[in-house]
Structure 1
Amino acid sequence: MDRTRFFVRVSAIYALIGAFMGSHMAGGGGLELSAIHAHILVVGWLSLFAFAIYYKVFSIPKDSKLSLIHVWSSFVGVLGLTLGMFLYYTQPIEGMRTFNTVFFIVGGTILLIAFVVFAIMTFVHGKVISED
């Protein structure tokens, strides 16, 4: 799997979603979805794009288990957090409050794991990260 291409494409989708949400909020004059909008843009667009650049600039081995965990926990975590936030704050289906809360928490936890793995990876593969 080409990690850079994957992250760039997924981040572009989040950028589109965030832009549409922002346009909708601006046109409707309501800011009810602003927290969700911000997270879609920050963790969905910017963080995933930054990860794409990381994999492009630094020679992280393609067979790295940490890299594999990082890629998939980032993808699942961003999706889980942002969709979980939407479900939690909007409660679109009656009687699903507990499910929505758990979905939100689990998504956020998976994303937190992705960031921890990323931090660990910068030290484990630190020899490829230098100005030389």
Structure 2
Amino acid sequence: MTFDRQYLICGLIYALAGMGLGIVMAKTANVAQHVTHAHILLVGFAVSLIYAIIHKLWLANANHRLALVQFYAHQTGSLVMFAGLFLFYGGHVPEPQVGPVLGLASFAVLTGAVLMLVMVLMSGRQPHPHNAIHEIR
């Protein structure tokens, strides 16, 4: 499966998870997880969707090994971040215990962003005309 498709699928799963959490918060009138909700939708859904688009338009021939490291850095960091935020804002784990884990997760997500930039800079590629959004004539 291509990286653009993997990111698209992951992003849509994060969208469902974030929306589900939002619905639960609304239903219970408990917004304690608002930070978790926002991170799932932004880091999970929005960033994954942006990475899917970048792979589709600019990185079709990216270095597979670097793309794989980048993908797993983002996904692992995101999932650990979401779990840590959920446990912290749910009152299950105190900040001194979860703080270092959240720091490492944030660093993994940041590493994923840096690696994405490196891949884009290495590609030097313009979007393929068949993949670009065309003007309505």
TM-score (norm 1): 0.85
Report the RMSD for the aligned CA atoms in angstroms: 2.0
Using the TM superposition, give the Cα deviation of residue 109 of structure 1 relative to its aligned residue in structure 2, in angstroms: 1.0
Runs of 5+ in structure 1 lacking a partner?
Answer: none
Structure 2, gaps ≥5 residues long: 130-137
Q: Secondary structure at the match of 1:109?
A: helix
Identity over aligned pairs, percent: 24
Answer whether contact 2:4 2:52 (CA < 8 A) is retained.
yes
State the secondary structure of the residue aligned to 2:112: helix
Q: Mean Cα displacement is larger for which, 35-44 or 99-108?
A: 99-108
Moved over 6 A (4+): none
2:7, 2:128 → 1: CA distance?
A: 24
3-state SS of paired residue (1:128): coil
Structure 2 distance, partners of 1:97, 1:38, is: 19
Q: Which has the higher contact order (CA 8 A, sep 6+)?
A: 2
Tell me the equivalent position of 2:73. 73
Q: What is the letter of the counterpart of residue 113 of structure 1?
A: T
2:59–2:119 CA contact under 8 A, matched in 1? no
Aligned length: 129
TM-score, length basis structure 2: 0.82
